[in-house]
Structure 1
Amino acid sequence: MATFVLLLNYVRPLTEVDALISQHKAFLDAHYEAGHFLLSGRKEPRTGGVILARAESKAAIEAIVQQDPFAIAGVAQYEIVEFVPTMSATELRTFLS
């Protein structure tokens, strides 16, 4: 499994983002349930969000983020950063490669 930081950047007004929040949350819930998403939240100030994710490959995570209603509607763009975890807090050691 590969590990990723997904950085969402809003590119449309917050009113357009807010109109899609319930669909975006359903997307997040589905991928938490599938084991892809580990941690997520909004940026402060509210210019986007951050997701810590795992998937088989970068292609797999790219396919996942294309399903996000934010991406489909063009209100947010994703930056995908793959990284290899080598150190962690004790409670996160299961994610070390």
Structure 2
Amino acid sequence: MYIVSLTYTASLERIDDALPAHRDWLDAQFAAGNFVAAGPKVPRDGGVILASNMERARLDALLATDPFAEQDLVVYAVTEFKATRLAPGLNLPRPEAP
């Protein structure tokens, strides 16, 4: 599992212009089972994505297709961790077979 922290490197006006395309991209990643949570940071200087069920190289390739990345509007910090405990009722996708 990965925590992806996005930090804006452009004005909020430019971020807002790209936001509909970014949201469409997020929708596609959720539909594909790649992401389990996403949302803006507070204060609004970036966002956070929880990604699961993939190798790091695949995540990096997906992030490169984010409209925010394509327009050079953000930088990403990626932290990998192993979820060993989950809240009751929280189900995450199972890891891919090697």
TM-score when normalising by structure 2: 0.90
Contiguous gaps of at least 5 residues in structure 2? none
Work out the CA distance in 2 between the residues paired with 1:82 and 1:10: 21
- Identify the structure with the greater strand proportion: 1
Does the 8 A contact of 1:42 with 1:49 survive in 2?
yes
Among 56, 70, 79, which residue is 1:72 paired with? Answer: 70
Percent pairwise identity: 35
- Identify the structure with the greater helix proportion: 1
Paired residue total: 95
Work out the CA distance in 1 between the residues paired with 2:57 and 2:94: 21
Structure 1 residue 43 displacement after superposition: 0.2
Which amino acid in 1 is paired with 2:59?
A: I
TM-score when normalising by structure 1: 0.91
Matched, 1:15 2:17: no
Structure 1 residue 93 displacement after superposition: 4.8
Structure 1 residue 26 displacement after superposition: 0.5
Query: Which residue is equivalent to 2:29?
Result: 31
Does the 8 A contact of 1:85 with 1:95 survive in 2?
no
Contiguous gaps of at least 5 residues in structure 1? none
Which amino acid in 2 is paired with 1:7?
A: S
Which amino acid in 1 is paired with 2:53?
A: A
| Residues 55 and 61 of structure 1: CA distance in aligned 2, closer, same or farther (over 3 Å) | farther
Does the 8 A contact of 2:53 with 2:94 survive in 1?
no
| Residues 89 and 77 of structure 1: CA distance in aligned 2, closer, same or farther (over 3 Å) | same
Among 55, 59, 62, which residue is 2:60 paired with? Answer: 62
Residues 16-41 of structure 1, C-alpha deviations (whole Å, 9 max, x = no match): 10000000000000000000010111
